[in-house]
Amino acid sequence: MGAVTTSSTFFRDIAWRIVNIVVAALWIVAAGFMFSDKHFQSVMPGLFLLVVGVASIVFEFWRPVDIVDNCRFLWNFLGRGVLFLLMGCAVVSFRVVTYVAAGFSWFFGIVYIVLWFTSFTTLFPVGSPAAPYPEQYV
């Protein structure tokens, strides 16, 4: 059975997708700056950020069944928040752009985790534990 989607739920889903896309785009920009250092210690984290950033943007528009089944943490607030916190740690380097990308990652990671552990998940059903996964995203 599919979930009943109201217009307010649709707009909240769009808002969270925009946040995810903006943060992932900042990861990609930070990866580009890491590539400009041309050192192995900078290129490898840059490559990691590039792959995860592109995958995050792609998964906002296209959600394969295997990814939804095996990576359910990406579609709830707690999992996305922990991912953002860890990616914020991976982004930090010696450039201002990487500090901005890390700050956005940490901020929205903490917001997602707080939303998971508070009663606000009833206001934001997209990331709540009761949100249907396969029917909604396949």
Q: What is the pLDDT of residues 100-138, one digit of tens each?
A: 999 999 999 999 999 888 865 555 555 444 555 445 444
**Cβ count within 10 A of residue 84:** 26
Mean pLDDT of the chain: 80
- Residue 2: the pLDDT is 46
Exposed, middle or buried: residue 99 (CB in 10 Å: 0-12, 13-18, 19+)? middle
37: left (phi over 0), alpha (psi -120 to 50) or beta: alpha
The pTM of the full predicted model, rounded to 2 decimals, is 0.76
Pick from 68, 77, 105: which is nearest to 12 by CA? 77
- Residue 134: the pLDDT is 46
